[in-house]
Amino acid sequence: MRRTITLLSLLALMSAAAGIASASPALDAAGKCRDNGKFVSAKLCQAPAAAGKCRDMKTKKFAKCSAANTEPVPEKK
C-alpha cells in the first residue's frame, strides 16, 4: 500500500513537471526571450491573444463565433 502511494505521488509530480516544461518560454532579466538557455524568437514569448466570446443573437447563450446568428459578447464597463 505504501509503495502504491509513493508511486502515485511520484507520477503526479512528474506529470506536473512536464506541464511546466511545455509552457511557453518567458523573458529573462535582460528582457531577452530564452528557452532552455537558448535565444528564441520573441513571438514565442508572447502570450496568445484571448479568444473573443460570442453568443447566440436570440437565446443570448454562449456559442462558437463561427456559428450562424452569433454576435460578439459586449465588454463589461
Residue 66 Rama label (left phi>0; alpha psi -120 to 50; beta): alpha
18-46 pLDDT tens trace:
555 555 556 666 667 777 777 777 666 76
Residue 29 backbone dihedrals phi, psi, to 5 degrees: -65, -30
d(CA 28, CA 7): 35
What is the pLDDT at residue 16? 57
| Model confidence pTM above 0.85 | no
| Residue (of 35, 31, 12) closest to 23 by Cα position | 35
d(CA 57, CA 41): 41
44-58 pLDDT tens trace:
676 655 667 899 999
Longest alpha-carbon distance in the chain: 57
54-73 pLDDT tens trace:
999 999 999 888 889 999 88
